[in-house]
Amino acid sequence: MNNEELKIKISELLPTATFEEGTQWLTINVAPGDLHLLATQLRQDTSLFFDYLFCLTCIDWKTHLTMVYHLDSTKFRHNIVLKSKLDISSPAIDTVSDIWKTANFHEREVYEMFGVNFLGHPDLRLLILPDGWEGKRPMLKSFEDPINMIRL
Amino acid sequence: MVEEIGTTPEGDIIINVGPQHPATHGVLHLVITINGETIKKVEPHLGYIHRSIEKMCESLTYRQFIYVTSRMDYLSAHINNHACALCVEKGLQIEIPSRAKVIRVIMDELTRIASHELWWGAMAMDLGAFTPFFHAFRERETINDIMEETCGARLTMNYMVPGGVMLDIHPNFQKRVKDFITLYKSKISEYDELVTGNIIFQNRMKGVGYLSPEDAISFGCTGPTAKGSGVSSDIRKLYPYEVYDQVQFDEVLETGCDSFARYMVRIREMNQSIRIIEQLIDNIPEGDFQAKTKAVLKLPKGEFYQRVETARGEFGVYIVSEGGTTPYRIKFRSPGFSNLSALDQMARGSKLGDLVAMMGTLDLVIPDIDR
Amino acid sequence: MSNNSNYKDSSSIPPLASGGGGASSSGGGALQYLKDVFNGLKSLATGLRRTLYYFTHHKEIITEQYPENRDTLNLPERFKGEVVMPHDENNEHACTGCTACELACPNATIKIITKFDITPEGKKKKALDKFVYHLELCTMCNLCVVACPTDAIKMAQTFEHSVFDRSELTKILNKPGSKIREGIE
Amino acid sequence: MVIEMVIAGVCVIGLFAALGLVLVLMERRVAAWIQIRLGPNRVGPKGMLQSLADTVKLLVKEGMTPNGADKFLFNFAPFIAMMVAMLLMAPIAFAKDFQLWDLNIGVLYFSAISSIMVISILMAGWASNNKYSLMGAMRSGAQIVSYELSAGLSILAVVILTGSLNLNEIIQSQADGWWIFKGHIPVIIAFIIFIIAVTAETNRAPFDLAEAESELTAGFHTEYSGMKFALFFLAEYINVFIVCAIGATLFLGGWMPFHIGHWEAFNHVMDYIPSSLWFFGKTFFLIFLIMWFRWTFPRLRIDQLLNLEWKYLLPISMFNILLVTLMAILGWHF
């Protein structure tokens, strides 16, 4: 499917979704509450079949966080990007690790680096950071660490 | 006297494999639960070499941040640099000279061969055969010498820059690459004699670490790990960049889904890389090796994503720009991170000795996983 | 294997894995058994022949005897060992002190201290005072050499940088009393 | 009598030290040449004194005992390993009329004592209070007990043909030709099985599961350091030497020169070569064989290791015993 067809199809699935213009791939903005439902449909719909989540990350915009999901279909080879705005003070979103298993590790990384709470995640613990770093959110722009960070 | 420690309530033993362990090739820490010799659970603990490269890159300019990526997957340093350079070029919307494109692809493929050579030796060493390690290094050193002559370094080259390559190829480059191809072809049969055909090796590999195609996709496995499960995932074929759409090569796929399939993918992939180099080495177009770029690079506001195929799988660079001289946010999608997440599923139910074979064929590079 | 069968038990491992170490038998009669044994031994013999070849052919040895071969060691001219500033016979260099390298460096390896010279016309002119180079921070990325507009610095082929005191790695690249070559702006 | 024993004791200890040094150096050279390297070349002429330097290093190193270990067993285990190796040295005929103890059940003695080796490994693994060590020890136990069987059965092939358990008589019976030639196919099969089985019994690669450094870091001797480790290390090499000496004695005629039937002139020339040279030549050939295996093959997995024994080696050697018996009764051997 090309981007136009995808746009129509996704609008049908989730009428509240908005689309970004001028991006490399079709970019869809979704409310955090709708994300899991849409993701399930994207994975299961036989004409979409987004079975490969190749990148999951988070961006700190200082005022809010944005979760970014890059999806690919191994069958049709079309790509989309899902984005979801989160509140910076207590970010939370449904996990997608039940849809794509790779999200398990990627969400754990985002959890410790950005402090995003993934609801329903089976094993939300620190993966990369050592013990004692719970809740420190080192990848946020506001993070300061006078000992471990060297500014040039 | 001898105390009972580190056991689960069911009486299974918990063993720490790593962070200092001969088979983890770096500082990977796996906490495994075993019952006798049978693995029940594998739980990776990462971060022993985490340098937060993504955060570091936020304070480096678009020219500067590329060298850092050599330190991630140091065995695919060229390809990592290539991905970053491509992503910046995508943002700047500049077309690079065709000479630079061809040089980049040749370098990528040489890197891929060098990486697979090292993997071959190290994997055989994990299985207890030491000799292949030294034999693999003989060929790998030749590639390193070629790199040293043209790029000035053996491992962390920083050769790809936005707009092309940093320096033109050395006058000896073509001759030495051809010499290497001759050497490689005369030695590759030894690999089969020493390792591939060996009955002990085959028994250690076949049926070990089963990863179904569905799981491979779901876990985001790429590169030889996915190709060994028959999943077509070669970015060079699916989303061609540079001159990959103009050269003849096959995407190597095996359907065994086990460690032996992943092993064979890498061995056959080396031959495909040789094929690509053979097509290009005599056809490097004349012209500039670098496009004219401004002294200070500024990417327009927006998001840019570039996917490339490293020796380990799909490497992605995601740059979020606010229009300044430094990236606002960079995300590196490293292949090893996703491949490692499948290890638990692969290892459950197999023997402790198999874990080594599985880790060997996943070809884990720890700085690539930790970033 | 279906999509959801997450954790294979040992019974689902293909038969080859549970075969013997000496050979792989997945059923079959006595003939098959002997054939497996024979093929297994043959594959082992192939490997043994290869290693015996190397055991007896010492010309294949590739060891480089490093400290002894120092004199014959030939590093390519592009090898990135450390940043140096070439001076000519009049103790003159080509550095204008423009700080392009300092800005290009990702690790703050280079620190340029400038001074003001008085030209014969009596004007003040910015000139290099000290080119401080922190080798201990350098990653040999070559960006400074590329950035230099006057080719004042280049990469040297030295690589034996070990010292007992870290401070010895901080170097001042312009020689004492050196000045900028005529005609370089 | 006492003086004799003291002399013999001193000789054995001297031989031990010398053998350890020579074998370690040999191992490193074989490994290096196979791996297209030079090997040790720094200490002494052509690196000859490298293993001596290593010994000095191990001697002066602190022999640590881990906190949670069973101290007595932990420190005792290396000595058992060494004692077993020393005991095994007794019945070996190094040259013509040179044997410490001409035992009339020499073969049985060898089989019995070499099994004790496993106790020291189990002891070391258990007492270390380390999971890696324990697993290495357990693996080793399963392995050595299994491979004793086929090693014993392949030795039995020669015993059947000779009709004696006395090592000296076995050597004498090979005066007109070694058993590997006289007994043709069945003895060759027995010889191959013997080599595989003793490689496993001495925990050498590809059967070094007890150590398996890529899986268990160092297996049963993970916690050992200094001289205690050196004793294990030395015992391993002495054991390799002993099993190879036994193999040479049983299958290759021990110190007996190479004789062909009634070619008197040829046999006479062969007799001029000293018998000790014959013995050591054969033994070191077998040692080279085992080292050659080590540097060529990958390691087996534990279940494959046991499969190899119980599904392949044991049935084959049992069948082979039948063949040998038949051959001995019908006189098909030369």
β partners of residue B17: B30
Q: Two tokens at D141?
A: 């136990």
Assigned token pair, B294: 């401004």
- What the block records as the tokens of A90 is 């207590």
pLDDT band at C12 (very low <50, low <70, confident <90, very high): very low
pLDDT of residue C24: 43
pTM: 0.86
Specify whether the CB–CB gap between B112 and B312 falls below 8 A.
Answer: no
Per the structure, the count of domains in chain B is 1
Residue A151 lies in a domain: no
pLDDT tops 70 at residue D329: yes
* Residue numbers in B near C57 (CB within 8 A): none
In chain A, how many H helices and how many E strands? 3, 7
Overall size of chain C counted in residues:
185
According to DSSP, the residues that pair with C156 across neighbouring strands are C82
Task: Tell me how close the Cα of B1 comes to any Cα of chain C, in angstroms.
Answer: 35
- Joined tokens for residue B210: 């089963």
Closest Cα to residue B123, out of B361, B350, B342? B361
Question: Is the pLDDT score of B53 beyond 80?
Answer: yes
Indicate which CATH number applies to the domain containing A104. 3.30.460.80
Chains D and A touch (3+ CB pairs under 8 A): no
CB-count exposure of residue D151 (10 Å: 0-12, 13-18, 19+): buried
Whose CA is closest to C126, among C180, C183, C182? C180
Of B331, B325, B261, nearest in space to B298 by CA: B325
Q: Would the pLDDT of D280 be above 70?
A: yes
What average pLDDT score do residues C50-61 get?
84
Closest residue on chain C to D34 (Cα): C55
A41 vs D163: CA distance, rounded Å: 81
* Cβ separation A102–B341 shorter than 8 A: yes
Q: Is the pLDDT of residue C108 over 70?
A: yes
What is the number of other CB atoms lying within 10 angstroms of the CB of residue B208? 28
3-state secondary structure of D321: helix
pLDDT at C2: 35
Q: Which residue ranges make up each domain of chain C?
A: 10-56, 82-179
Q: What is the sign of the dihedral through the CA atoms of B103, B104, B109 and B110?
A: positive
Q: Is the pLDDT confidence value at D134 over 60?
A: yes
* CB-closest option in C21, C22, C47 to D296: C47
CA–CA gap between residue B211 and residue B350 (Å, rounded): 13
Q: What does the pLDDT read at residue C18?
A: 36
Asked whether C170 and C86 are in contact (CB, 8 A), the reply is no
pLDDT digits (tens, 9 = 90+) for A84-131: 888 888 888 888 888 888 888 899 888 988 888 888 888 888 888 888
| Three-class DSSP category at A137 | coil
How far, in Å, CA of C100 to CA of D87, rounded? 77
3-state secondary structure of B321: strand
Q: Tell me the pairing of strands A26-30 and A18-20.
A: antiparallel
Give the separation between CA C22 and CA D305, rounded to whole angstroms: 9
Q: Which residues of A touch B314 (CB under 8 A)?
A: 54
Q: Has residue A71 been placed in a domain? A: yes
Q: How many CB atoms are located within 10 Å of the residue A120 CB?
A: 12
**For the domain with range C82-179, which CATH number is right: 3.40.50.300, 2.120.10.30, 3.30.720.200, 3.30.70.3270?**
3.30.70.3270
What is the spatial distance between Cα B128 and Cα C21, in angstroms, rounded to a whole number?
14
Is residue C52 within 8 A of residue D33, CB to CB? The reply is no
Amino acid at D80: I
Instruction: Provide the pLDDT confidence category of residue C164 given band limits of 50, 70 and 90.
Output: very high
Distance CA A51, CA B220 (A): 9
Helix (H/G/I), strand (E/B), else coil: D322: helix
- Distance of alpha carbon B67 from alpha carbon B153, whole angstroms: 12
| Partners of A94 in beta bridges | A119
- Please name the residues between 34 and 53 in chain C that touch chain D, using a CB distance below 8 Å: 37, 44, 47-48, 50-52
* Other Cβ atoms within 10 Å of D159 Cβ, number: 17
Task: Give mean pLDDT, residues A58-62.
Answer: 89
- d(Cα B287, Cα B180) in Å, to the nearest integer? 25
- Sketch the domain layout of chain D as residue ranges: 1-60, 71-330
**Residues of B with CB below 8 A from D127's CB?**
2
Looking at residue B22, its pLDDT comes to 77
Which of D254, D308, D315 has the alpha carbon at shortest distance from D283?
D254
Q: What is the DSSP string of B301-314?
A: SEEEEEEEE-SSSE
Share of chain B above pLDDT 70, in %: 98
Q: Does position C140 have pLDDT exceeding 60, yes or no?
A: yes
Query: Tokens representing B349?
Result: 């139910």
Q: Does B60 touch chain C (CB under 8 A)?
A: yes
B25 in a structural domain = no
Residue C167 CA, distance from chain mean position: 23
Task: Report the Cα D110 to chain-centroid distance in Å.
Answer: 11
Which residues span the domain enclosing A29? Answer: 3-119
DSSP 8-class letter at B350: S
Q: For residue D176, which amino acid is it?
A: D
pLDDT tens digits for range D32-90: 888 888 888 888 788 888 888 888 888 888 878 888 888 888 888 888 888 888 888 87
**Phi-psi domain of B4 (left: phi exceeds 0; alpha: psi -120 through 50; beta: other):** beta
Mean pLDDT of chain D: 83
Instruction: State the alpha helices, DSSP H only, in chain A.
Output: 3-13, 32-44, 103-114
Ranges assigned E (strand) in chain B:
13-17, 29-35, 38-45, 160-161, 164-165, 302-309, 314-321, 329-333
What's residue A152's pLDDT?
Answer: 60
Q: Which amino acid is located at A103 in the chain? A: A
Contact check, Cβ <8 Å, D36/C18: no
> Measured between alpha carbons, how far is B233 from B223 in angstroms, rounded to an integer?
6
pLDDT at C27: 53
Closest Cα of chain D to B356: distance in Å?
7
Residue type, B111: T
pLDDT digits (tens, 9 = 90+) for B15-30: 888 788 877 777 888 8
Band the pLDDT of B5: cuts 50, 70, 90.
low
Assess whether the previous peptide bond of B22 is cis (omega < 30° from 0): no
Select from C25, C37, C61 the Cβ nearest to the Cβ of D38. Answer: C61
DSSP structure string for B6-33: SB-TTS-EEEEE-SS-TTSSSS-EEEEE
Check A105 against B340: CB less than 8 A apart: yes
Residue of B nearest to A150 (CA): B56
Asked if pLDDT for residue B168 goes beyond 50, the answer is yes
Mean predicted confidence (pLDDT) in B340-354: 86
Residues facing A18 on adjacent strands: A29
- Residue A45 corresponds to which tokens in the numbers above? 């719909």
Q: What is the mean pLDDT of residues C41-48?
A: 86
pLDDT of A151 over the 50 cut: yes
Closest CA to B120 of B110, B109, B131: B131
| Closest CB to B217 among A74, A130, A139 | A74
pLDDT at A71 over 70: yes
Exposure letters A23-49 (e unless 16+ CB within 10 A, then b): eebbbbebebeebbebbebbbeeeebb
3-state secondary structure of C130: strand
Q: How far apart are CA D143 and CA D203, in angstroms?
A: 9
Could B55 and A23 be called an inter-chain contact, meaning their C-beta atoms sit closer than 8 Å?
Answer: no
C108 has a chain B CB within 8 A of its CB: no
Closest CA to D139 of D155, D124, D154: D124
Cβ of D312 and C23 within 8 Å?
Answer: yes
Q: What is the pLDDT of residues B266-306, one digit of tens each?
A: 988 888 999 899 888 888 888 888 888 887 888 888 888 98
Asked whether B296 and B324 are in contact (CB, 8 A), the reply is no
* Strands of the sheet with A26-30, listed across from one edge: A18-20, A26-30, A79-87, A64-72, A52-60
Question: Tokens for B269?
Answer: 């992939």
Beta bridge mates, B322: none
Q: Which residues of B touch D131 (CB under 8 A)?
A: 6, 13, 15
The average pLDDT across B98-117 equals: 90
Peptide bond connecting C120 to the previous residue in cis, omega within 30 degrees of 0: no
Read off the pLDDT of residues B72-97 as tens digits, 9 standing for 90 and up: 888 888 899 999 999 888 888 888 88
Residue whose pair of structure tokens reads 């943002």 in the numeric block: B91
CA–CA separation, A3 and B270 (whole Å)? 36
Chain A environment of B232 (Cβ under 8 Å): 74
| DSSP-assigned beta bridge partners for residue B30 | B17, B44
Tell me how far apart the alpha carbons of residues B35 and B28 are, in angstroms, rounded to a whole number.
22
Q: Which residues pair with B303 in a beta bridge?
A: B320
Contact present, C131 and C83 (Cβ < 8 Å):
no
The whole-chain average pLDDT of chain B stands at 86
Contact C140, C80 (CB under 8 A): yes
CB B198 within 8 A of CB D298: yes
User: Is the CB of residue B205 less than 8 Å from the CB of residue B262?
Assistant: no
Q: Mean pLDDT over all residues of chain C?
A: 77
Is B276:B247 a contact under the CB 8 Å cutoff? Answer: yes
Q: Is the ipTM of this complex over 0.85?
A: no
**Contact: C7, B199; criterion CB under 8 Å:** no
In total, chain B counts a number of residues equal to 371
Question: How would you classify residue D36: left for phi > 0, otherwise alpha for psi between -120 and 50, otherwise beta?
Answer: left
pLDDT on residue D261 = 67
CA-closest candidate to residue B205, choices B258, B254, B253, B126 = B258
Q: How far is CA B360 from the centre of its chain?
A: 13
Length of chain D: 334
Task: Provide mean pLDDT across the span B306-327.
Answer: 89
Is the predicted pLDDT of residue C26 greater than 70, yes or no? no
Domain of residue B288, CATH code: 1.10.645.10
